[in-house]
A and B are shown apart, each in its own frame.
Chain A
Amino acid sequence: MTAAAPADQPVRAGSAGSLSAKRPLGDRVFQVVALAAGLLVLVILVLIAATTTDQAAPWFAKEGISGIFSKTWDISTNHFGALAYIYGSAVTALIAVILSVPVSLGIALLLTEVVPRRFARPIVYVIDLLAVVPSVVWGLWGVLVFAPWIQGIYASIASFFKGVPVLGNLFGPPAQGTVQGTSFFTAGIILAFMITPIISSLSREVIATVPTIDREGAYALGATRLEMIRGVVLPHSQSGIVGAVLLGLGRAVGETIAAALVIGSSAAVTSHLFAPGYNIPAVIANQFGEASGLFRSALLGLGVLLFVFTIIINVVARGVVERSARRQRGA
């Protein structure tokens, strides 16, 4: 039984002669290659920081901290202060977020709480379509169709708010020139369209982790859907939603081409939202082509500021989202 192997059977791997085969070279190489690919992410991020900072160094050196945040951006005097662009980025991003968050949340809640499964699919498709439209197409439509049309509406609103104490400064006619279709507000609107898919789909993911038991508990107490949402869903998901909004904010700040086409391309620190303005990625996009020397260095410096800001916002946002997910799982 032990020694004789029947004739039709091949010699089997019975003897323990070669249990000690070494790990094949291909297997080890593959592991190294996979690790290298993973590390590539870190390498690229570090290189981005290093090379752009290096190119921007002349500007940082010349202006120093105070110079960077000054208002003057003058090619002739070789003096480049970034305040107007930082201001423009902040304003347009804020408008975008303020406009987008209620709409995004509304859609997210619509999909998770209101709409039955069957009808959810087409709605999700529409949101995906919204996300797939390239930024340059938003910009083309924005500058050739939307801006001219909305200029008339701005003009009516502005004449309505003319002279009104606080709101007049926001929505009234600007100090110099007239209201323009390509302005801070238009950029904010177009950006809002573009960040809605992100905020709404991430919020949806967060809201979906709210346990059904909790929802049912609220309904069993006789709550209406709105009351259940306010009492159960929102408290559970609020930190996750905050994370989603931060990610949308980051996206709004970094969005370049649509902004470049509809923001008005005129650096100005003004409270009037219907006036033309500029923001960081827009000025880089529009002016990099002809820039050289310190001018180019300044534009790259703006890029560095943008990079640092978006990294910080993304780290914070992802951290917040992850912590809320972890708390959800633990709870």
Chain B
Amino acid sequence: MAADTGQQQKADLREPAGWRRAKNRIATALMVLSFILVIIPLGFVLVTVIAKGSSIISWRFLTSDIPPAVLPANFGGMGPAILGTVLITGLATVIAVPLGILGAIYLNEYGGKGPLARFIGFMADVMTGVPSIIMGLFIFSIWVLHFGYSGLAGALALGCLMLPIVIRSTYEMLRLVPDSLREGAYALGSTKSRVTLTVVLPAALAGIVSGALLAVARAAGETAPLLFTILAVMTPNPNIFSGPNTSLPSQIFANATQPYTGAQARGWGAALTLIVIAFILMIAARIVTARFNRYAR
């Protein structure tokens, strides 16, 4: 090694060449070790969830009602929880994604470098760090106290959680759209709103959808915002606008503290279902990104 020959000629007695190389090797080993330290628990969790959950998953499980906790594993299922998760997360998506896209449009297309836009952008990033339980307490204070528990309240809380995430990811995508496209549209006599809606948004659409899917995956897995807004009951409630409801994370949380093996088993099944949903959304996000990048070229 060049370093070694240099060392031998100017022999620095304080630091033998071998020791430098050794430290370097140790450092690299530590870096690899840190990655392994992360894979191991992740692997354990996934393996455990799959192992314990798959034995209970079945069509019956996915569609049956939630039984009392004491009943053994082969009774009942998580149907209401799945329904609740789909409906509530869906409503939250419908609320948060358009608003988030519009907010990002304001930041990138209209606000530019002005002080208000920079402040809003900064606070949107700060908002992504607000704990999800705060969103639950917020909606509890401002909505549930007046209108009662409902899936809608849960959707509002999840929407507050999703909004800054969608704003940030959409903003990054809009930034990537080259100005030459906008200029071309302006030069044809379009108004700003037209340029944004018919040229900029379609050009950024793949990235925006991908970012939204990831936000949905995050929201689907959240428990804390739902604790004080939907009140985790066990009966199915397709009407998300009135009456308490439930969701997969809520049921997992409830079953995790149960001493009964049946309830715990159902908890694992619900956990597996939830993870599968989150993975599907994540993979869908990647496919969308890859597919549209190919089209645009």
Report A's interface with B, CB cutoff 8 A.
23-24, 26-27, 30-31, 33-42, 44-45, 47-48, 51-52, 54-55, 102-107, 109-110, 114, 123, 126-130, 132-141, 143-145, 193, 196, 222-227, 229, 247, 250-251, 253-257, 260-261, 281, 284-285, 288-289, 300, 303, 306-307, 310-311, 313-315, 317-318, 322
Which residues does chain B contribute within 8 Å of A254, judged by CB atoms? 129-134
Q: Are B6 and A261 in contact (CB under 8 A)?
A: no
A311 to B152: give the CA distance in the assembly, Å.
26
Q: Are B107 and A38 in contact (CB under 8 A)?
A: yes
Task: Indicate which residue in B2, B48, B129 contacts A250 across the interface (CB closer than 8 Å).
Answer: B129
A43 to B22: give the CA distance in the assembly, Å.
56
Q: Are B24 and A224 in contact (CB under 8 A)?
A: yes
A110 to B132: give the CA distance in the assembly, Å.
31
Which residues does chain B contribute within 8 Å of A114, judged by CB atoms? 28, 31-32
Per-residue A-contact encoding for B105-120, CB less than 8 Å = 1, 0 else: 1110111000001011
13 further A-B contacts with Cβ under 8 Å, apart from A126-B35, A306-B134, are: A38-B120, A40-B163, A41-B124, A139-B252, A140-B271, A193-B42, A222-B3, A229-B27, A254-B129, A284-B137, A306-B131, A310-B134, A314-B126
Which residues does chain B contribute within 8 Å of A261, judged by CB atoms? 253, 256-257
Q: Which of B5-54 contact A (CB under 8 A)?
A: 6, 20-21, 23-24, 27-28, 30-35, 37-39, 41-42, 44-46, 48-49
Q: Are A45 and B127 in contact (CB under 8 A)?
A: yes
Q: Are A281 and B122 in contact (CB under 8 A)?
A: no
Report B's interface with A, CB cutoff 8 A.
2-3, 6, 20-21, 23-24, 27-28, 30-35, 37-39, 41-42, 44-46, 48-49, 99-100, 102-103, 105-107, 109-111, 117, 119-120, 122-127, 129-135, 137-138, 141-142, 160, 163-164, 167, 191-194, 196-197, 217, 220-224, 227-228, 249, 252-253, 255-257, 264, 267-268, 271, 274-275, 278-279, 282
Task: Indicate which residue in A41, A123, A225 contacts B35 across the interface (CB closer than 8 Å).
Answer: A123
Which residues does chain A contribute within 8 Å of B32, judged by CB atoms? 110, 114
A48 to B119: give the CA distance in the assembly, Å.
18
Residue from B34, B127, B279 having most chain A Cβ neighbours under 10 A? B34
Q: Are A310 and B131 in contact (CB under 8 A)?
A: yes
Task: Indicate which residue in B123, B142, B160, B264 contacts A51 across the interface (CB closer than 8 Å).
Answer: B142
A261: nearest residue on chain B (CB-CB)? B256
Which residues does chain B contribute within 8 Å of A135, judged by CB atoms? 221-224
A134 to B31: give the CA distance in the assembly, Å.
26
A318 to B138: give the CA distance in the assembly, Å.
24
Q: Are B106 and A35 in contact (CB under 8 A)?
A: yes
Residue from B224, B252, B268 having most chain A Cβ neighbours under 10 A? B224
A104 to B279: give the CA distance in the assembly, Å.
23
Q: Are B120 and A39 in contact (CB under 8 A)?
A: yes
Q: Are A35 and B126 in contact (CB under 8 A)?
A: no
Q: Are A136 and B126 in contact (CB under 8 A)?
A: no
Q: Are A126 and B42 in contact (CB under 8 A)?
A: yes
Q: How far is the CB of A239 from chain B (nearest CB, A)?
A: 17
Which residues does chain A contribute within 8 Å of B110, judged by CB atoms? 31, 34-35
B132: nearest residue on chain A (CB-CB)? A256
Q: How far is the CB of B120 from chain A (nearest CB, A)?
A: 5
Q: Are A37 and B38 in contact (CB under 8 A)?
A: no
Q: Are A140 and B267 in contact (CB under 8 A)?
A: yes
Task: Indicate which residue in B49, B122, B194 contacts A318 across the interface (CB closer than 8 Å).
Answer: B122
Give 6 CB contacts A-B under 8 Å. Answer: A34-B110, A103-B37, A134-B275, A247-B129, A257-B224, A315-B126
Q: How far is the CB of A257 from chain B (nearest CB, A)?
A: 5
A123: nearest residue on chain B (CB-CB)? B35
Q: Given that A31-B193, A41-B127, A261-B257 are known contacts, is A133 also in contact with B42, CB under 8 Å in the complex?
A: yes
